[in-house]
């Protein structure tokens, strides 16, 4: 094969040099003659592969072992001059065809630095932007799974809870725990609620703030048929009670109550805290305070840390005959108090329509009033018409012996009489419904109940907060079950500070079963009666009564316990368990820390929350030993426990409805970072629960509890939104078009050189490698630089750009560059000596002679159609993306639900999507500018000629501007049409607003193309006209 060799001597002096200075070929009139005069044997081993006009080395063509033929010197000289005129780069690379290819590539990069720099910067920006944007867009994507199990719409479509409340088994099984609400006390702020309300597609967002339990109590008379006339002496009666809960499976003896009646005169001390009676001429202390013929005295002043059966419930002393109501039991009903937004609750749950008496909640704030002689804050509430707990009470009344009467008269107290024998004079049982109705009457008319129970029925100064239940996995008969874990509760939460100071006592506020096995942590809050600077303790301001059975869909909610007003349904799992429970469901008990929690019986408005927040005078009797240390049952910063959401446009559980719900849920999670559950299509999912034995006779039970199986299981997946991925890939696509144009221009500019190399025997694969290695080298450098920039940007702005993610910029740059450069590189392999001297332009079918600047601009734009099409395609992609995003933002406020090829899709515009569209527009503008730069570079002689024949600079500017505008109009029109097609297919119709949005996007595309022509046009005035004409 012929080889080109460089002799070691310097042409101008004939001396050898390791590094020969550059010099024009024209300076040596006959370089071949210089070579023949000073060649050495060692020079034949240096092959020449490339030439440059700056490298004026003499060359000779030889075959190994054959001396050069002097007869071809003239042809060689002319060939050398041709190579120099074409500005080929000459460097020596060493022996062998495969040796030195990288040196040629490096020479090309250095020689054409501006073009390599443009390619490098384009890839750098695109890859760095792609890496940063993909990291920024990683969001919580909601993916629907499973089968919809119901055909009807549930009470609400989305349930929002605070983070951290979801049990592991809930998350694993796509479940929602039954009775979840009572164990959540705050965690969602009012601002987050209002933020959710403003989300597009939210029809109603109804918050629930769980305040805690109160124990309103009422005295139920037990001695209506007992003769309580002392005659001419004194009598002592004792009421013994027995409480029955858990459908009779638990039985607990209550604390006894005493009634002392006498025909002698009773007197009191100045504070009416002690009762006296003259016995045998001696004034003795009876430990009862007569107030209008009777009084209730609570437990004795002894410090206690647990409930004991050595205390009495109450002592009543009466002067003369007493009615049957003088002796009775104080029944406490634990009420779960919750706060709602009245308007939202009426719209979502229909609470206003379920009112059976009184009036519905208003939006007013709490007021102050004097109740029971004390200043109080009036908290407006509506109350359930029936109790949620189940309790029964049996009792017997005994008349104690005369010795017991004498014991009291001598001032020896009642402690030794708790189990003293007596004669039964009456017995019976209490109906809980009747007691509850008496409680409601006491709430309406506080003066209608016995003693202090009128006020006690409305008192909200003692608040109790129950935490969530915990479970452990357990195997039972080979099956996996959940074992409820007992929790130790400090019964000191029931302590009450005495009104006149002194020791704490356990008062009658304690509900039955309070010392039974606890499954929830219990925290108590009491009003600090010593704090006189406050408005007063919170008190019920009765508004009306609601019947939960009148709520829309109530029956469905009892099967799927997602509603606010439905208690959990728990049944025996085996025949033995069902028998223990009397073939009934296990009902909620008065034990606030018990397993089954009741539905809320008392509802107030969110505007009442300040009465229970940190600014109030509540304190915790367990964590502090005296009043004055502020504590609050309500988290003022985030008081809401859950938000139930109904989505607009949801008609059932079809694909379109599910997509709307999913889209709203996705936005809620993205904006608030709360725990979001899609409840559409929910159904019961029985869980097997093992409940340990109780303290009052109930054995261990195996139960079935209906948790909620979400029909549309929602998995929170950390993933990139598919639409965002498409936009980010478009960034790379537009960059690839830019790279393709740049590489094609580079190959076009080197066609002569590539043709010469092909003439000298270079294989096609070697020519492809020459171009490919150059592209890959620039892309590798751009990928490394882009990764470093992305990693630095992530560290600076707090974006999740890990080193591994940043490193993805390298393969991204390589893939984009090599894919974009494959066609130009392959075209380089087709180079031939004849093509090397021909211009690469399209030949028109019919010659035309344009007479206007616009006509000439059109001819110039179409003479290399591939270059113009690539630039227009990049702009079309940018305009299409901008049109779609702008249409969704302006008409649908950022999100839309529609169909695509029969599949329901939802689209939401994120901030990263907007950034991606901006990046696409910038790259498209750079692509247009790049085309004009290439045109000026390659048509420099033509432009110089036009200047030489009299064209003004403004004429040349108009010519180039015309080319840019033509490319911009073509790309913008195509992009606008593509955007309209996409919107029409996804949404189903095109509104006037959508069309205008797309037209504005097209106009922006044209403006960008015009702006992109400014930098290239500015280089016209720097054209070296004389030099270009001389070279031509």
pLDDT score of 359 more than 60: yes
In a domain, 419, yes or no: no
Please tell me the least confidently modeled range out of 417-421, 632-636, 729-733, 774-778.
Answer: 729-733
In a domain, 832, yes or no: yes
Q: Are residues 742 and 859 in the same domain?
A: no
The pLDDT of residue 17: 36
- Tally of domains within the chain: 3
Of 788, 820, 840, the last residue of a domain is 840
CA distances from 75 to 60, 61, 80, 331 (A): 11, 11, 9, 123
Q: Are residues 801 and 836 in the same domain?
A: yes
What mean pLDDT do residues 309-334 have? Answer: 72
Task: Check: CB of residue 210 under 8 Å from CB of residue 184.
Answer: yes
Please tell me the least confidently modeled range out of 348-357, 487-496, 812-821, 926-935.
Answer: 487-496
Selected residue with higher pLDDT from 556 and 60? 556
Q: For residue 983, give its domain range.
A: 849-1032
Q: Are residues 927 and 782 in the same domain?
A: no
What mean pLDDT do residues 990-1000 have? Answer: 84
In a domain, 446, yes or no: no
CA distances from 876 to 130, 302, 724, 730, 978 (A): 20, 87, 18, 11, 8
Task: Check: CB of residue 945 under 8 Å from CB of residue 839.
Answer: no
Of 822, 840, 858, the last residue of a domain is 840
Q: Are residues 914 and 972 in the same domain?
A: yes
Q: Are residues 746 and 858 in the same domain?
A: no
Residue 25 — very low, low, confident or very high, per pLDDT cuts 50/70/90? very low
The pLDDT of residue 616: 55
CA-nearest of 1005, 924, 1009 to 964 is 1009
The pLDDT of residue 108: 72
Task: Check: CB of residue 875 under 8 Å from CB of residue 928.
Answer: yes
Secondary structure (H, E, C), 101-113 = HHHHHHHHHHHCH
Q: 721-774, pLDDT tens digit by residue? A: 555 666 667 777 777 777 777 777 667 667 667 777 777 777 778 778 888 888
User: For 4-55, where are the alpha helices, taking DSSP H only?
Assistant: 31-38
Selected residue with higher pLDDT from 651 and 696? 696
Task: Check: CB of residue 213 under 8 Å from CB of residue 397.
Answer: no
In a domain, 567, yes or no: no
Q: Which residue shows structure tokens 């922006």?
A: 1004
Q: Are residues 780 and 893 in the same domain?
A: no
pLDDT score of 151 more than 60: no
What mean pLDDT do residues 438-444 have? Answer: 84
Classify residue 341 as exposed, middle or buried by CB count within 10 Å of its CB (0-12, 13-18, 19+): buried
CA–CA separation, 679 vs 676, rounded Å? 9
pLDDT score of 305 more than 50: no
Residue 277 — very low, low, confident or very high, per pLDDT cuts 50/70/90? confident
What mean pLDDT do residues 613-618 have? Answer: 64
Taking the alpha carbons at both ends of the chain, their separation in whole angstroms is 34
Q: 204-222, pLDDT tens digit by residue? A: 999 999 998 888 877 788 8
Secondary structure (H, E, C), 216-253 = CEEEEECCCCCCECCCCCEEEEEEEEEEEEHHHCEEEE
Q: 551-587, pLDDT tens digit by residue? A: 876 445 445 555 577 778 889 999 999 999 999 999 8
Selected residue with higher pLDDT from 470 and 511? 470
In a domain, 559, yes or no: no
The pLDDT of residue 499: 46
Q: 924-938, pLDDT tens digit by residue? A: 887 788 777 777 777
Element (H, E) at 779: helix 764-797
Please tell me the least confidently modeled range out of 285-294, 306-315, 988-997.
Answer: 285-294
Neighbours of 832 (CB within 10 A): 12
Sign of the Cα pseudo-torsion (752, 758, 759, 760, in order): positive
What mean pLDDT do residues 87-92 have? Answer: 40
Q: Are residues 938 and 918 in the same domain?
A: yes
What mean pLDDT do residues 179-185 have? Answer: 80
The pLDDT of residue 572: 93
Q: Are residues 11 and 81 in the same domain?
A: yes
Q: Are residues 18 and 39 in the same domain?
A: yes
Q: Are residues 807 and 795 in the same domain?
A: yes
In a domain, 835, yes or no: yes
In a domain, 318, yes or no: no
Q: Are residues 1001 and 865 in the same domain?
A: yes
CA-nearest of 603, 613, 659 to 635 is 613
Of 71, 99, 127, the last residue of a domain is 99
Q: Are residues 875 and 946 in the same domain?
A: yes
In a domain, 222, yes or no: no
Element (H, E) at 129: helix 113-136
Give bridge partners of residue 202 from the DSSP assignment: 647
Please tell me the least confidently modeled range out of 323-332, 451-460, 932-941.
Answer: 451-460
The pLDDT of residue 255: 78
pLDDT score of 341 more than 90: yes
Residue 834 — very low, low, confident or very high, per pLDDT cuts 50/70/90? low
> Interior CA angle at 777 toward 774 and 779, to 5°?
110
Residue 312 — very low, low, confident or very high, per pLDDT cuts 50/70/90? low
């Amino acid at each position: 094969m012929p080889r080109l060799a460089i002799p070691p001597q310097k042409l101008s002096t004939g001396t050898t040099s390791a590094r020969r200075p550059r010099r024009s070929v024209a300076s040596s009139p006959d370089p071949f003659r210089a070579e023949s005069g000073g060649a050495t044997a060692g020079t034949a081993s240096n092959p020449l592969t490339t030439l440059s006009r700056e490298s004026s080395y003499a060359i000779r063509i030889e075959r190994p072992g054959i001396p050069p033929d002097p007869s071809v010197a003239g042809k060689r000289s002319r060939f050398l001059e041709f190579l120099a005129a074409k500005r080929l780069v000459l460097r020596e690379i060493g022996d062998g065809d495969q040796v030195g290819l990288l040196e040629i590539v490096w020479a090309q990069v250095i020689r054409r630095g501006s073009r390599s720099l443009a390619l490098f910067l384009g890839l750098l920006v695109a890859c760095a932007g792609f890496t940063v944007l993909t990291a920024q867009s990683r969001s919580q994507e909601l993916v629907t799974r499973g089968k919809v199990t119901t055909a009807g719409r549930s009470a609400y479509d989305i349930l929002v809870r605070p983070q951290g409340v979801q049990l592991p088994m809930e998350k694993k099984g796509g479940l929602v725990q039954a009775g979840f609400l009572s164990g959540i006390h705050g965690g969602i702020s009012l601002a987050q609620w209002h933020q959710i309300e403003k989300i597009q597609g939210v029809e109603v967002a109804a918050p629930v703030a769980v305040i805690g339990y109160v124990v309103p109590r009422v005295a139920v008379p037990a001695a209506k048929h007992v003769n309580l006339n002392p005659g001419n002496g004194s009598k002592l009666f004792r009421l013994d009670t027995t409480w029955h809960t858990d459908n009779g499976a638990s039985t607990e003896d209550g604390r006894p109550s005493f009634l002392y009646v006498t025909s002698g005169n009773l007197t009191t001390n100045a504070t009416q805290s002690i009762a006296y009676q003259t016995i045998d001429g001696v004034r003795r202390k009876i430990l009862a305070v007569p107030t209008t013929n009777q009084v209730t005295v609570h437990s004795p002043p002894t410090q206690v840390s647990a409930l004991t059966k050595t205390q009495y419930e109450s002592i009543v002393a009466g002067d003369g005959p007493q009615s049957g109501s003088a002796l009775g039991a104080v029944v406490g009903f634990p009420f779960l108090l919750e706060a709602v937004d009245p308007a939202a609750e009426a719209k979502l749950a229909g609470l206003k329509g379920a009112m059976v008496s009184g009036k519905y909640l208003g939006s007013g704030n709490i007021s102050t009033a004097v109740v029971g002689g004390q200043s109080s804050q009036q908290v407006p509430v509506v109350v359930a018409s029936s109790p949620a707990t189940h309790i029964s009470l049996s009792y017997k009344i005994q008349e104690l012996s005369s010795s017991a009467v004498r014991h009291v008269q001598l001032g020896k107290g009642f402690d030794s009489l708790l189990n003293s024998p007596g004669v039964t004079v009456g017995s019976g049982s209490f109906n809980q419904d009747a007691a509850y109705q008496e409680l409601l009457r006491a709430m309406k008319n506080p003066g209608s109940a016995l003693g202090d129970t009128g006020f006690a029925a409305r008192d909200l100064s003692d608040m109790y907060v129950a935490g969530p239940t915990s479970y452990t996995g357990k195997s039972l008969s080979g099956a996996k079950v959940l074992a409820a874990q007992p929790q130790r509760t400090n019964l000191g939460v029931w302590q009450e500070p005495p009104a006149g100071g002194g020791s704490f006592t356990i008062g009658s506020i304690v509900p039955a079963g309070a010392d039974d096995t606890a499954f929830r942590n219990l925290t108590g809050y009491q009003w600090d009666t010593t704090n006189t600077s406050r408005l007063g303790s919170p008190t019920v301001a009765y508004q009306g009564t609601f019947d939960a059975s009148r709520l829309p869909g109530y029956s469905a909610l009892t099967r799927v316990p997602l509603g606010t007003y439905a208690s959990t349904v728990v049944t025996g799992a085996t025949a033995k368990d069902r028998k223990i429970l009397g073939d009934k469901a296990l009902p909620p008990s008065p034990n606030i820390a018990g397993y089954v929690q009741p539905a809320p019986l008392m509802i107030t408005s969110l505007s009442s929350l300040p009465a229970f927040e940190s600014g109030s005078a509540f304190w915790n009797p367990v964590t502090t030993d005296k009043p004055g240390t502020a504590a609050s049952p309500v988290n003022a910063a985030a008081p809401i426990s859950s938000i139930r959401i109904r989505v607009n446009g949801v008609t059932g559980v079809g694909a379109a409805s599910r997509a709307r719900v999913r889209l709203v849920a996705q936005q809620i999670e993205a904006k608030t970072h709360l725990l979001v559950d899609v409840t559409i299509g929910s159904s019961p999912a029985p869980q097997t629960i093992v409940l340990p034995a109780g303290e009052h006779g109930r054995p261990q039970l195996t139960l079935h509890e209906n948790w909620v199986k979400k029909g549309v299981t929602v998995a929170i997946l950390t993933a990139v939104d598919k639409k965002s991925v498409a936009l980010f890939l478009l960034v790379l696509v537009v960059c690839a078009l830019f790279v393709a144009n740049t590489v094609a221009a580079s190959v076009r500019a080197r066609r002569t050189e590539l043709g010469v190399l092909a003439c000298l025997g270079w294989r096609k694969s070697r020519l492809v490698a020459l171009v490919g290695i150059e592209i890959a080298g620039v892309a590798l450098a751009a990928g490394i630089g882009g990764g470093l920039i992305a990693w630095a940007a992530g560290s600076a702005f707090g974006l999740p750009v890990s080193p591994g993610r940043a490193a993805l910029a390298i393969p991204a740059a390589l893939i984009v560059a090599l894919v974009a450069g494959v066609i130009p590189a392959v075209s380089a392999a087709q180079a031939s000596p004849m093509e090397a001297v021909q211009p690469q332009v399209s030949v028109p079918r019919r010659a035309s002679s344009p007479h206007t600047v616009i006509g000439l601009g059109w001819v110039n734009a179409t003479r290399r159609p591939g270059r113009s099409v690539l630039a227009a395609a990049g702009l079309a992609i940018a305009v299409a993306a901008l049109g779609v995003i702008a249409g969704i933002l302006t008409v649908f406020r950022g999100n839309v639900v529609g169909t695509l090829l029969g599949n329901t899709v939802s689209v939401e515009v994120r901030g990263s999507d907007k950034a991606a569209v901006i990046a696409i527009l910038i790259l498209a503008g750079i692509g247009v500018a790049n085309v004009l730069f290439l045109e000026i570079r390659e048509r420099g002689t033509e432009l110089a000629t036009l200047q030489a024949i009299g064209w003004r600079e403004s004429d040349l500017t108009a010519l180039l501007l015309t080319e840019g505008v033509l490319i911009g109009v073509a790309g913008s029109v195509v992009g606008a049409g593509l955007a309209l097609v996409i919107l029409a297919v996804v949404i189903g119709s095109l509104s006037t607003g959508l069309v205008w949005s797309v037209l504005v996007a097209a106009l922006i595309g044209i403006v960008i193309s015009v702006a992109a022509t400014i930098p290239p046009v500015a280089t016209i005035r720097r054209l070296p006209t004389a030099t270009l004409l001389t070279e031509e």
